């Protein structure tokens, strides 16, 4: 009697069931070995490597099977464990906890970048949401690493990098719904930094004027970013963009006339950069 051609799948299923005790057994052995080694060496940080080591086991299993269901938890467990070592271990020799916290956030941010990288290799779907999360975490880490614990530094860094994450997601997935908040957040983040960080010593009109000017340029950026993914010319963002830019100019020049030429030069330079990128990425002529 001939065998059914589907019968070879039965031993494969039994082999997959043997993976579970082997996998968790390896985790227990590695955990016990690290804890025992730390008791002899008295490092006070070696025990913290248990978590990233477990994550590496998950990651190795995921890379072997090419399944994102194992890769994602493996990467996150490894990077979160590494963040714990950076924040609470003595390996960095950094006395300021704020800087160690920023390094830990960057470690977790790198984990989400690895998720995007592995999704490009092994998955049919591209996990651009991971890039957005990495940008948010990096923006949160910058004030701690630079030791500039100011509310406007927080706002500017988080808004700017979050906007870049939305722009990348919208550009590669061809989604205008992500390009719009991305452009506005980049403009707001730049405006907060120029107005309330660099020009912190100026009066309130100058600060608000810089912020409104950059926010207006964010609206203008919507038009150019839309042109990168579609051949149609999206003109309506130019209306609020132009109005906000002129109002911002007026407030800044009215608050301090001595920086009028500097403001016009900076705004013109940013406009030239945006327009130059638009011309580089444009493939066909503008259609009305």
**CB atoms inside a 10 Å sphere around CB 124:** 6
- 80 confidence band (pLDDT: 50, 70, 90): very high
Distance of CA 151 to the CA centre of its chain: 20
286: region left, alpha or beta (phi > 0 left; psi from -120 to 50 alpha): beta
- 264 confidence band (pLDDT: 50, 70, 90): low
* DSSP secondary structure letter of residue 258: G
The fraction of the chain above a pLDDT of 70, given in percent, is 70
Residues 171 and 259 in one domain: yes
Q: Is the pLDDT of residue 238 over 50?
A: yes
Which pLDDT score, from 0 to 100, does residue 89 have? Answer: 74
Q: Within a domain: residue 1?
A: no
Which pLDDT score, from 0 to 100, does residue 231 have? Answer: 78
Q: Within a domain: residue 12?
A: no
Residues 174 and 217 in one domain: yes
Q: Which residue has the tokens 């016009």?
A: 264
Residues 175 and 210 in one domain: yes
User: Do residues 184 and 211 lie in contact, with contact meaning Cβ atoms separated by under 8 Å?
Assistant: no
Number of structural domains (the chain) is: 2
Q: Within a domain: residue 90?
A: yes
Residues 111 and 175 in one domain: no
Which residues span the domain enclosing 36?
A: 23-132
Q: Which of 107-111, 126-130, 180-184, 270-274 bottoms out in mean pLDDT, i.e. has the lowest?
A: 270-274
Which among 180, 142, 185, 141 has a CA at the least distance from the CA of 163? 185
3-state secondary structure string across 47-94? HHHHHHHHHHHHHHHHHHHCCHHHHHHHHHHHHHHHHHHHHHCCCCCC
């Amino acid at each position: 009697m001939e065998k059914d051609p589907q019968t070879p799948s039965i031993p494969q299923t039994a082999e997959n069931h043997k993976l579970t005790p082997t996998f968790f057994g390896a985790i227990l052995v590695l955990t016990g070995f690290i804890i025992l080694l730390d008791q002899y060496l008295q490092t006070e940080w070696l025990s913290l490597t248990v978590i990233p080591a477990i994550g590496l086991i998950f990651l190795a299993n995921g890379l072997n099977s090419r399944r994102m269901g194992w890769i994602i938890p493996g990467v996150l467990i490894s990077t979160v464990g590494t963040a714990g070592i950076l924040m609470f271990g003595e390996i960095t020799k950094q006395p300021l906890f704020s800087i160690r916290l920023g390094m830990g956030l960057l470690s977790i941010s790198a984990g989400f970048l690895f998720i995007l990288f592995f999704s490009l290799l092994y998955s049919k779907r591209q996990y651009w949401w991971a890039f957005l999360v990495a940008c948010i975490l990096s923006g949160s880490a910058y004030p701690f690493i630079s030791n500039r614990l100011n509310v406007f530094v927080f706002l500017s860094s988080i808004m700017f990098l979050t906007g870049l994450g939305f722009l990348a997601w919208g550009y590669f997935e061809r989604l205008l719904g992500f390009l719009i908040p991305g452009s506005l957040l980049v403009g707001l983040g730049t405006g907060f930094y120029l107005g309330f960080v660099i020009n912190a010593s100026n009066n309130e009109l100058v600060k608000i004027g810089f912020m409104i000017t950059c926010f207006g340029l964010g609206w203008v950026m919507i038009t150019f970013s839309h042109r990168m993914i579609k051949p149609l010319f999206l003109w309506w963002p130019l209306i609020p963009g132009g109005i906000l830019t002129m109002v911002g100019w007026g407030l800044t020049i009215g608050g301090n006339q001595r920086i009028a030429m500097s403001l016009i030069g900076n705004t013109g330079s940013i406009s030239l950069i945006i327009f130059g990128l638009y011309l580089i990425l444009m493939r066909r002529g503008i259609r009305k």
